[in-house]
Amino acid sequence: MKKSLKMLGIAALACVTSAFAEGGMFDGALPENWTADVVAAVKYTRMHYSNWAEDGTSSYTWLVTYDADVQGKWSVANWRNLIDLDLGQTWTDGLGKRKSADKIFWESMVDFNMTEVLKPYVGLRYETQFLKGYKYSEDENGDEIKTPVSCFMDPVYFTQVAGLAYIPNDNFSQRLGFANRVTVSHGYGYADDPDTEDEIEEVKDEPGLESITEFKYAFSNIMSFKTRLWAFVNFKGTDEIDGKWENLLTVEIAPLIELQVGFDMVYDKDLDKDTQYKDMILFGLTWRWF
């Protein structure tokens, strides 16, 4: 109950803070050559049953997100930073807690204005998670077994990339470049090479080619859509392909209320040999910074 009240307090604080801003709390604070799209959000749902005759299971879900796209433009070059932070949990009576979202993503790119649409670029990317992740199973007595499979900075991915971008307008971009993807895993074996039985590697260095396709479109003042398709091909061969396709439709129901519908598809052979899918429908309070 205390945890539920705590989450309600966080949501109320976000609502009160948002009330001071129309269109963005810090609108006008950036220099003229900078643009920003920054949104923080809190989503919370709770169902509690006590002496309830009909079918029902007590549960709650909370999710906190921070999504930022900040870009500075100069005559010689443009500098863009993407930040995506997601953290959420679900609790179900009889099952306990499970993570519903856990992501730390930061990408920084510098585009050099060779022409209006073709731009050489260099960039860095950092990816990991906040909390420890588990694999759940049962023993012969039916008791739950929690096996740790990941944690903060394990695994962590660092990517350095350089290439050529095609950016015809503010809504679409296509990047193709040489990338060096480094996986660091000290305790869970994500960087280990299965072909070397006598040694467990903690760092994996993968040079290859990277492609990033991005598109965003505002249907109106209250509805927008964005998609990002990322693919990485290891120089070892075409069977060493990783990919991620992210889609998000956002609808502003009211000045402080937002509906999001998303679909993600991921393939990473080091994590799972099958393609992974995730779809979501989120409804909650939003706090627009810019």
pLDDT tens sequence across 120-133: 999 999 999 999 99
Q: Looking at residue 273, what is its pLDDT? A: 76
**What is the percent of the chain with per-residue pLDDT over 70, rounded to a whole number?**
91
State the chain's mean pLDDT as an integer. 88
Residue 225's nearest CA partner among 250, 260, 188 is: 250
What is the tally of structural domains in the chain?
Answer: 1
Instruction: Output b/e per residue, 238-269; b: 16+ Cβ within 10 A.
Output: eeeebebbbbbbbbbeeebebbbeeeeebbee
pLDDT of 14 above 50: no
For residue 4, pLDDT beyond 50: no
Q: What is the mean pLDDT of residues 100-113?
A: 97
Distance CA 290, CA 284 (A): 18
28: left (phi over 0), alpha (psi -120 to 50) or beta: left
Position 15 scores a pLDDT of 40
pLDDT at residue 7 in the model: 44
Nearest to 175 by CA among 191, 163, 186, 183: 163
Question: Which pairs count as long-range contacts for 277-284, CB under 8 Å and 24+ apart, including other chains?
Answer: 282/41, 282/43, 282/63, 283/43, 283/253, 283/257, 283/258, 283/259, 284/11, 284/41, 284/42, 284/43, 284/44, 284/63, 284/257, 284/258
pLDDT level of residue 193 (50, 70, 90 thresholds): confident
Residue 10: give its domain's CATH number.
2.40.230
Mean of the pLDDT values across residues 16-37? 70
Mean pLDDT calculated for residue range 93-100: 91
Q: Report whether pLDDT(153) > 80.
A: yes
Cα separation, 52 vs 233, whole angstroms: 54
Q: How many CA atoms lie within 13 A of 120 on its CB side?
A: 3
pLDDT classification of 20: cutoffs 50, 70, 90: very low
Q: Report the pLDDT value the prediction gives residue 239, as an integer from 0 to 100.
A: 64
DSSP 141: T
- Between 238 and 245, whose confidence is greater? 245
Q: Give residue 273's domain range.
A: 2-288
- The CA-atom distances, in angstroms, between 168 and each of 75, 117, 172, 197, 228 are 16, 5, 7, 49, 16
Q: How much is the pLDDT for 128?
A: 98
